[in-house]
Amino acid sequence: MLIYSGTKADFMADTENDCLETKLYDAIKEKMNRTTGLSELNSWRNSLKEMYIALNDFAIPVDSGVAIEYNIPQTSKRIDFLVSGKDVDDTGNVVVIELKQWDKLTAIPGQDAVVETFTGGAVRRVVHPCYQAWSYAEMIRDYNSYVQEQLIGLYPCAYLHNYPRQNNDPLDAEQYRDLLEDVPAFTMGQRTGLREFIKRHIKKGDDAHVLLQIENGKIRPSKQLQDSLSGMLKGNREFVMLDDQKVVYEAIVAASTQCQKDKCKRTIIVEGGPGTGKTVVAINLLAELTKRGQYCQYVSKNAEVRKVYGYKLKGTMSRRSVDLMFTGSGSFVDAPRNSVGTALADEAHRLNEKSGMFQNLGENQIKEIIHAACCSVFFIDESQRVTTSDIGSVAEIQKWAAQEGSKVIKMELTSQFRCNGSDGYLAWVDDVLEIRETANFDLNDIDYEIRICDSPQEMQDIIFEKNHIRNRARILAGYCWNWPKETRNDTNFHDIKIGDYGISWNLDGGDAFAINEESVHEAGCIHTSQGLEFDYVGVIIGDDMRYENGHVVTDFTKRAKTDNSLKGIKALAKQDPQEADRLADELIKNTYRTLMTRGMKGCYVYCTDKGLAEYLRKRVATA
């Protein structure tokens, strides 16, 4: 959707006559059914005057196309400014410009596309402006049929017109070098460079023809995207489907394909416990449905999961192209109805009601996903809800599906592929933690290695040894120790201290905890491990779970202040102490159940509470 489009001559005249902002305001109200706030109007006023000056060059054709606030179809993303035209061979070209009013920023060590700056009334971590411009261009390239068929050239850049660039500037930090080689950033005093960039790609005018054709182009994944994603899965043993995984996969492919034909909305709920292969099925569906020409998105609240699987799918295609297929659960707040072919919501039990940094956007993430997708698939395990904000449940999904007029189909994954294929170990954990009574009182006939360690150092030594095999062992801990912001990138600062033993929480930046070989020296928590699996895990159970009077009890007051998992529990405890204790007990035990089932081959546990350690040791010893 083009909010504003015309020729360069139109844009220059509208700016000179002080009517550009009014046209933008009216167009957004008419096309998007919303009004524009003062901050956005000020942003337009400042940035568009800068673009007026930049385009005031006779060498940039007056009949070249100009578009402002291009809403990328089937997304809520909007491109600030585009200039279209032709090169010397009459091939259509578009310059994609991301405009920023920032005057300073901070580089984030170890992260190739994230910076910190003041925006939206607070200091926030956001993507590098060049990455933002690149991702928008890539999205159009990968999904717009006109661009694919006509070989339209897309040339992204960023223009930070208020930013005074200096030597060794954080904008140009080492981790952004590869990005800047492909997507230049122009700053205060570099208007000439922006002009030259535009003139290099726009030699002739096109009367905005290319922009109008892009707007009307059909949305479908490019052949390169289809083939590359499919090729990445071939021969990759991690994504081979077995038994009921294949059955569920084929049923979902059939239902999704039918949705695209009859335009009838369908919501598929796939229930499965830890290790049943929910993510394996989701990734295979992402590849297959994309191959069939659908606009398909893998959805997860946990950014760590998206980072890990985006990395594992690297291949002939740019890793950043893969990244665009993975999105957060809050991405559908403003998405139009049926704008996505199929949305694959993994770890659906972790979905929230509201979206955004301050949990103030949208109405309900489940509703928004169902609304946006012709076919929505929710992979869920209700026993893995671990925070007070987790609303994902089968009943909640069914409620919103009915409201959206979507037919519900329920499926189940039962075969166990984690914990050496042992449903028995999972049942034993449930019984031991008193989550539910099971027949698995002991570990007889269960092929799984579990040990209760006498010290955290003993547990760490085992994990270090196991990790030498293939970098698939990690230390995890309950969130009972604070994670200070100022030391989040310092592995030598030990957030977790138990006697003489100390270890840092996982570092805030860089490769995912599950992939980085150095992360074995840090401890992950529920937020960096849920949805992932390792060969072996070492689990530190903190003071929030103890053994007293013959029972496993929990204590939410022992959770770290920096943990928001139990947000609202203290207030609830004043109003309804019994309900607060019940809810906290459920979430804390679910957390440790999840941590203790991340390892496929073994789990080594250290408890800060000696009573709990002795109890667990006796339960293990009965085998």
Q: What is the domain partition of the chain in residue ranges?
A: 2-216, 223-413, 420-621
Q: Report the predicted TM-score, pTM, of the whole model to 2 decimal places.
A: 0.80
pLDDT category of residue 419 using cuts at 50, 70 and 90? low
Instruction: Using a pLDDT cut of 90, give the percent of the chain over it.
Output: 65
- CA 258-264-270 angle, to 5 degrees, is 70
Predicted local distance difference test score (pLDDT) of residue 623: 55
Predicted local distance difference test score (pLDDT) of residue 44: 77
Which tokens hold the place of 362?
């949208």
- Residue 316 scores a pLDDT above 50: no
* Beta strands across the sheet bearing 326-327: 326-327, 296-299, 340-345, 373-380, 266-272, 407-413
**Segment among 85-89, 100-104, 136-140, 394-398 with least mean pLDDT:** 136-140
Cβ-Cβ contacts under 8 Å for 175 (sequence gap 6 or more): 107, 108, 109, 110, 111, 112
- Residue 320 scores a pLDDT above 80: no
**Segment among 235-244, 405-414, 472-481, 562-571 with least mean pLDDT:** 235-244
- Residue 180 scores a pLDDT above 90: yes
pLDDT category of residue 36 using cuts at 50, 70 and 90? low
Predicted local distance difference test score (pLDDT) of residue 221: 81
- pLDDT tens-digit series, residues 594-610: 999 999 899 999 999 99
- CA 227-411-292 angle, to 5 degrees, is 20
pLDDT category of residue 12 using cuts at 50, 70 and 90? very high
Predicted local distance difference test score (pLDDT) of residue 611: 97
Higher-pLDDT residue of 423 and 395 is 395
Task: Give the C-alpha separation, 93 to 113, whole Å.
Answer: 25
Higher-pLDDT residue of 36 and 379 is 379
Instruction: Using a pLDDT cut of 70, give the percent of the chain over it.
Output: 92
On the 0-12 / 13-18 / 19+ scale of CB atoms within 10 A, 547 is middle
Of the candidates 42, 154, 47, 163, the one whose C-alpha atom is nearest the C-alpha of residue 99 is 47
Instruction: State the distance between the two ends of the chain, measured CA to CA, in whole angstroms.
Output: 65
- Cα–Cα distances (Å) from 206 to 84, 341, 415, 610, in that order, read 7, 33, 58, 76
- Residue 358 scores a pLDDT above 60: yes
**Segment among 182-186, 302-306, 451-455 with least mean pLDDT:** 302-306
CA atoms within 13 A on the CB side of 428: 24
Of the candidates 254, 554, 265, the one whose C-alpha atom is nearest the C-alpha of residue 411 is 254
Question: In terms of DSSP H, where are the helices of 71-207?
Answer: 129-143, 145-150, 177-182, 191-201
Q: What is the mean pLDDT of residues 248-260?
A: 96
Task: Give the C-alpha separation, 329 to 301, whole Å.
Answer: 5
Predicted local distance difference test score (pLDDT) of residue 441: 74
- pLDDT tens-digit series, residues 210-244: 999 998 888 788 777 777 666 666 656 667 787 78
Higher-pLDDT residue of 234 and 126 is 126
Instruction: Decide whether 223-413 matches 420-621 in CATH topology.
Output: yes
**Segment among 382-386, 473-477, 493-497, 512-516 with least mean pLDDT:** 512-516
Task: Give the C-alpha separation, 298 to 327, whole Å.
Answer: 6
Torsional class of 476: left (φ above 0), alpha (ψ -120 to 50), beta (otherwise): beta
Task: Give the C-alpha separation, 148 to 334, whole Å.
Answer: 27
Predicted local distance difference test score (pLDDT) of residue 431: 92
Q: What is the mean pLDDT of residues 424-445?
A: 85
- Residue 345 scores a pLDDT above 90: yes
Predicted local distance difference test score (pLDDT) of residue 336: 86
Task: Give the C-alpha separation, 484 to 495, whole Å.
Answer: 8
Which residue shows structure tokens 């954080």? 170
| Best CATH choice for the domain 223-413 from the list 3.40.190.10, 3.40.50.300, 3.20.190.10, 2.60.40.10 | 3.40.50.300
Third-level CATH fold of 420-621: Rossmann fold (3.40.50)
Which residue shows structure tokens 């800060």? 608
Check: CB of residue 74 under 8 Å from CB of residue 335: yes
Task: Give the C-alpha separation, 585 to 467, whole Å.
Answer: 32
DSSP letters along 462-521, please? HHHHHHHHHS-EEEEE-S-S---GGGTT-TTS-SEEETTEEEEEPPSSSS-TTT-GGGGG
Higher-pLDDT residue of 343 and 242 is 343
On the 0-12 / 13-18 / 19+ scale of CB atoms within 10 A, 102 is middle
Task: Give the C-alpha separation, 141 to 305, whole Å.
Answer: 25
What element of type H or E holds 50?
A: helix 38-55
As a whole number, the mean pLDDT across the chain is 89
On the 0-12 / 13-18 / 19+ scale of CB atoms within 10 A, 314 is exposed
Q: What is the mean pLDDT of residues 111-138?
A: 88
Strands (E), 148-187: 153-160, 185-187
